[in-house]
């Protein structure tokens, strides 16, 4: 069974640009979450989508947005990039059921560098 895939794996952008990251969950998983990992702040939750709806959101500015498609694939967009947005962006997927909780499985991440 294929794992969570993320594209691209590496990205270099300049300040002010925008970027779109993509995540394909494990087949059958309907929940996709995004996390930002930096040396200073650690792993921080961005948002979670389930069946094309944002179900939870972390404390990030509106420049960070996402969406989920009907096939459960998800994209994350960051507009007006800042130097501080340089990070490893991790995507995680799960079945996403609430009554019967299950763990998330993570992708390899996209390393974004903002110059």
Partner 1 sequence: AQKVTQAQTEISVVEKEDVTLDCVYETRDTTYYLFWYKQPPSGELVFLIRRNSFDEQNEISGRYSWNFQKSTSSFNFTITASQVVDSAVYFCALAHSGTYKYIFGTGTRLKVLA
- Give, as ranges, the residues between 53 and 92 that touch partner 1 (CB under 8 A): 55-56, 58, 88, 90, 92
Nearest approach in angstroms of CB 16 to partner 1 is 27
| Alpha carbon separation from 79 to 14, 61, 68, 69 (Å, rounded) | 11, 10, 18, 20
- β partners of residue 76: 21, 66
Q: Which secondary-structure segment (H or E) carries 36?
A: strand 31-38
- Give, as ranges, the residues between 18 and 37 that touch partner 1 (CB under 8 A): 31, 33, 35
Contact positions vs partner 1 (CB under 8 A): 31, 33, 35, 42-45, 48, 50, 55-56, 58, 88, 90, 92, 94, 96, 98, 101-109, 111
């Amino acid at each position: 069974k294929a794992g969570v895939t993320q594209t691209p794996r590496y990205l270099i952008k300049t300040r002010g640009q925008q970027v779109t990251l993509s995540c394909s969950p494990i087949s059958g998983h309907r929940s996709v979450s995004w996390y930002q990992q930096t040396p200073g702040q650690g792993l921080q939750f961005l948002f979670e989508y389930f069946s094309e709806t944002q179900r939870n959101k972390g404390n990030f500015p509106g420049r960070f947005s996402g969406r989920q498609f009907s096939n459960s694939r998800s994209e994350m967009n960051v507009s007006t990039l800042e130097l501080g947005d340089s990070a490893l962006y991790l995507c995680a997927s799960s079945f996403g059921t609430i009554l019967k909780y299950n763990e998330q499985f993570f992708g390899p991440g996209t390393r974004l560098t903002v110059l």
